[in-house]
Structure 1
Amino acid sequence: MSFALLFSGQGTQHPAMLPWLADDALVRDMCTRLGIDDWRQSLADPGWAERNDNAQTLLTGLALAAWGQLAPLVASPAAVAGYSVGELAAFSAAGVVEPATAAALAPLRAEAMDRCAARVPGGLLALSGLPESRLEQLRVEAGLALAIRNAKDSVILGGPSAALDQAERAARDAGAQCTRLRVHVASHTPWMREAAEQFAQTLADVPFHAPRVVLFSNARDRIRDAAAARTALAAQIATTVRWDECMENVMARQVRCVLELGPGQALARMWNQRHPTVPARACDDFRSAAAIAAWLNSHADR
């Protein structure tokens, strides 16, 4: 079996996500960190679900638990990558940090980012449907940064709220498809530089290991050792997520299928649009871990 494992970012979390996930120690520990009893019930409150500290802690904890429950049923992945905050769980799945360590780091990452956002309120705006040059022109004119690049004509811009409003109006007038993401920080932009520096200081005392499987970073391409992993995990907070390059790097491993682990199907959908000959599915599509394993196994001999 040759498959890639992709960990989702935040913004698409919902109460019915990961319907097969059992209530294990990692899930209970996550609930304790968040001060809640039922994470699905908490996600039903949009205000609670969209808070950056809640979302990062919850999504990291659930991703760690989900992979912990699925991993015994499948072979080791041929490649691993995480989208935005999904890198915490991805690095853990690759053996860089222990699951408990990744879970503990999530609220610290969110806290550092929230401090920056308190000084300059901001967010993220997804744009598509225009030529790359026009998207770049909109970005420059609004004074925003390129937060995430999913494709040449599909990007996410980040920055202060007023600048996002300006860019959204201009983009709609130009005929672009616009979506204001359910986040309230300008992730992966220079406005998060202090957060990245603070998180780097936090990571300095954390035990890191070289990846046990091929691991790709949003900021540093392939991660080959502990030092590069530590640097990349902090750097991506304030630098562009080059997800299009991550997908190309994963495809170069000649995987036979791709599994998205997290809420929604955004990464699987992007993959299928870019590489339709290599099927991608999301864990949210399945009702049991056994069904996910069966789908992965069905591609083992193709």
Structure 2
Amino acid sequence: MSFALLFSGQGTQHPAMLPWLADDPLVRRTCAQLGVDDWRRALADPNWAERNDNAQTLLTGLALAAWGQLAPMVPSPAAVAGYSVGELAAFSAAGVIDPATTAALAPRRAEAMDRCAARAPGGLLAVSGLAEQKLEQLRVEAGLELAIRNGNASVVLGGPIAALDDAERMAQAAGAQCTRLRVNVASHTPWMREAAESFSLALAEVPFRAPQVVLFSNAGDRIRDAKSARAALAAQIAQTVRWDECMENISARQVRCVLEVGPGQALARMWNQRYPAIPARACDDFRSADAIAAWLNSHAEP
């Protein structure tokens, strides 16, 4: 079997996510980090769920736990990537950082980003349905930066709140589809440069290893050694996530299916729209780990 493993970003977290996830030591450690007894009950409070520090810590810990519970049941993936904060879990799944260290890094990443946001409040706006040239014109006129590129006509713009408000009005007037993401920082833009530098210092204290499986970064490049892994994980905080290139690189590995680990089905949906001949499913689609493993195994080589 040849499959790719994708780790979701934040913004679609919800109390019913990962319905099959067992309450293992990593889940309990994540709850202790957050000071909550029940993470599902905590997510039911939108104010709690949308806080950057809560979301990044919770989603990283749960993604690590989910893959830890699935990994013994399936072969190693042929390729791994993570979307935004999902890169933390992806790098761990690829063997670059151990799970416990990765879980401890998530709140430090969020803290660095929140410090930037406190000085320059911002956010993210998903825009689709406009030609690439129109999207770029909108970005420039609104004074925003390109945070995430999912495709030529599907992007996420980031920047100050007032600029996002202007961009949303302009985009809707032009007939675009807009969604304000449930984040309160201008992730993956120059407004997060200090956060990237701060997180780089935190990563310098952490032992890194070369990936044990093929690993792609949000910069669209393959990570081949510990040094480039450390640099990429910090830099992506303030640089554009080139997810379209990430998907192209994974497709080139000729995988037979794709599994998204995390909340929602956003990455699986994007993949299926782009590569309909290669099926993608999300962990949120299943009621048990056994069912996920069975689906992956059903795409084994004959």
Query: Could you state the TM-score of these two structures normalised by the residue count of structure 1?
Result: 0.99
Distance in 2 between the 1:202 and 1:272 partners?
36
1:237 counterpart SS class:
coil
Output one character per residue of 1:159-200: Cα deviation in whole Å (capped at 9) or x when no partner.
000000010000000000000000000000000000000000
1:213 counterpart SS class:
coil
Output one character per residue of 1:61-115: Cα deviation in whole Å (capped at 9) or x when no partner.
0000000000000000000000000000000000000000100000000000000
Distance in 1 between the 2:83 and 2:213 partners?
17
Distance in 2 between the 1:202 and 1:182 partners?
26
- Give the aligned partner of residue 157 of structure 1: 157
Distance in 2 between the 1:223 and 1:129 partners?
32
- Give the aligned partner of residue 21 of structure 1: 21
- Using the TM superposition, give the Cα deviation of residue 220 of structure 1 relative to its aligned residue in structure 2, in angstroms: 5.3
- Give the aligned partner of residue 101 of structure 2: 101
CA contact (8 A) 2:6 2:80 kept: yes
Within the alignment, does 1:214 sit opposite 2:214 as a pair? yes
What are the equivalent positions in structure 2 for 1:152-191 lying under 5 Å apart?
152-191=152-191
Distance in 1 between the 2:121 and 2:241 partners?
20
- Using the TM superposition, give the Cα deviation of residue 301 of structure 1 relative to its aligned residue in structure 2, in angstroms: 2.2
Question: What RMSD over aligned residues (CA atoms) do the two structures have, in Å?
Answer: 0.5
Runs of 4+ in 1 over 4 A off after TM superposition: none
- Give the aligned partner of residue 224 of structure 2: 224
Distance in 1 between the 2:244 and 2:22 partners?
33
2:6 counterpart SS class:
strand
Distance in 1 between the 2:288 and 2:209 partners?
31
- Using the TM superposition, give the Cα deviation of residue 219 of structure 1 relative to its aligned residue in structure 2, in angstroms: 1.8
CA contact (8 A) 2:220 2:245 kept: no
Identity over aligned residues, as a percent?
Answer: 83
1:158 counterpart SS class:
strand
- Give the aligned partner of residue 58 of structure 2: 58
- Give the aligned partner of residue 40 of structure 2: 40
- Structure 1: 5+ residue runs without aligned partners? none
Distance in 2 between the 1:92 and 1:272 partners?
25
CA contact (8 A) 1:120 1:160 kept: yes
Output one character per residue of 1:10-53: Cα deviation in whole Å (capped at 9) or x when no partner.
00000000000000000000000000000000000000000000
- Give the aligned partner of residue 238 of structure 1: 238
CA contact (8 A) 2:220 2:243 kept: no
CA contact (8 A) 1:220 1:232 kept: no
- Give the aligned partner of residue 281 of structure 2: 281
1:103 counterpart SS class:
helix
CA contact (8 A) 1:211 1:225 kept: yes
Distance in 1 between the 2:215 and 2:143 partners?
33
Distance in 1 between the 2:182 and 2:301 partners?
40
CA contact (8 A) 1:81 1:87 kept: yes
- Give the aligned partner of residue 271 of structure 2: 271
- Using the TM superposition, give the Cα deviation of residue 285 of structure 1 relative to its aligned residue in structure 2, in angstroms: 0.2
Distance in 1 between the 2:204 and 2:27 partners?
27
Distance in 2 between the 1:251 and 1:8 partners?
18
1:114 counterpart SS class:
helix
Distance in 2 between the 1:120 and 1:205 partners?
28
Distance in 2 between the 1:27 and 1:37 partners?
10
In the comparison of the two structures, how many residue pairs are matched?
A: 302
- Give the aligned partner of residue 250 of structure 2: 250
- Structure 2: 5+ residue runs without aligned partners? none
2:127 counterpart SS class:
strand
